[in-house]
């Protein structure tokens, strides 16, 4: 229950900024610009493999991968974060196709991490603290099944940890509504187009990054300061 108790206090700290950001987006003052950008597909498609036996993989979908990628990249013990698509029925989907909400895919992150430095439970803690898991197929103004809250487990242990965490979190009353996060087995992972990777780091000055992603990242850094890589803990 230690992570649950920590998460309740973290959610109270983050809640106000999330509400304010959601209000800005809902008012139509700021829209996600990605749909108008040129596509630049990665050459390597398909399931990401992990050749380093000291590393493990975690896959989460918790809304716009531009925002969530920026958060997980800063965690100590996380080696790599790849934005992509999972859970659908169309092979090699493009961003444009996924945005229609008809391919069945969710925008996800596939995270390569060192379990000696950060545990799967800690990744789950960050996952549930940095999005609203009570809104079905929606995060703020991003609406559609591609934005659903979902954990794709890589093994039985991950499944059990995610289900246990979800159950305890729901029972704790940390959220005012029931958690609707899906917990499903891993399916084919398709890396997103090149311009989605490292989006916040490369486009930090754009309006969407400045007004939507940066406030979320700033709050995350304050709440999870003890879990950050050294280069981010000083920011």
Predicted confidence at residue 52, as pLDDT, reads: 67
Provide long-range contacts, Cβ within 8 A and 24+ apart, for 138-142.
139/62, 139/63, 139/64, 140/21, 140/22, 140/25, 140/26, 140/63, 141/22, 141/25, 141/26, 141/31, 142/32, 142/63, 142/64
The CA–CA distances, whole Å, from 222 to 10, 13, 125, 202, 212 equal: 10, 10, 15, 22, 17
190, 149 contact by CB (below 8 A): no
- Catalytic residues, by residue number, are 64
Fold of 2-225: 3.30.1060
Q: Which pTM does this prediction carry?
A: 0.82
Model pLDDT for residues 190-210, shown as the tens digit of each residue: 999 999 999 999 999 999 999
Model pLDDT for residues 131-174, shown as the tens digit of each residue: 999 999 999 989 999 999 999 999 999 999 999 999 999 999 99
Instruction: Pick the more confident residue, 231 or 26.
Output: 231
Predicted confidence at residue 10, as pLDDT, reads: 55
Delimit the domains of the chain by residue range.
2-225
Predicted confidence at residue 234, as pLDDT, reads: 73
Model pLDDT for residues 90-143, shown as the tens digit of each residue: 999 999 999 999 999 999 999 999 999 999 999 999 999 999 999 999 999 899
Model pLDDT for residues 1-55, shown as the tens digit of each residue: 555 555 555 554 454 344 333 333 333 334 455 543 433 333 333 344 455 679 9
The CA–CA distances, whole Å, from 120 to 9, 71, 129, 153 equal: 20, 15, 14, 11
Number of Cβ atoms within 10 Å of the Cβ of 194? 12
At residue 217, the 3 state secondary structure works out as helix
């Amino acid at each position: 229950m230690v992570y649950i108790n920590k998460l309740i206090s973290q959610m109270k700290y983050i809640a106000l900024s999330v509400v304010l950001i959601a209000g800005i987006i809902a008012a139509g003052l700021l829209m996600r610009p990605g749909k108008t950008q040129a596509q630049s597909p990665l050459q390597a498609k398909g399931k990401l493999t992990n050749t380093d036996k000291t590393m493990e993989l975690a896959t989460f979908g918790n809304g716009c991968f531009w925002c969530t990628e920026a958060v997980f990249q800063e965690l100590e013990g996380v080696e790599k974060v790849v934005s992509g698509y999972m859970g659908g029925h169309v092979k090699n989907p493009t961003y444009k196709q996924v945005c229609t909400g008809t391919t069945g895919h969710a925008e996800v992150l596939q995270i390569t991490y060192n379990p000696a430095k950060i545990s799967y439970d800690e990744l789950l803690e960050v996952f549930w603290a940095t999005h609203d898991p009570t809104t079905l197929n929606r995060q703020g103004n991003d609406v559609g099944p591609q934005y659903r809250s979902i954990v794709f487990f890589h093994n039985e242990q991950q499944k059990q940890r995610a289900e246990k965490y979800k159950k305890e979190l729901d029972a704790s009353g940390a959220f005012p509504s029931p958690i609707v996060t899906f917990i499903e087995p891993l399916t084919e992972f398709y890396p997103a187009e090149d311009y989605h990777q490292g989006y916040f780091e490369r486009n930090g000055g754009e309006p969407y990054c400045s007004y939507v992603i940066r406030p979320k990242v700033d709050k995350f850094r304050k709440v999870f300061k003890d879990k950050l890589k050294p280069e981010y803990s000083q920011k």
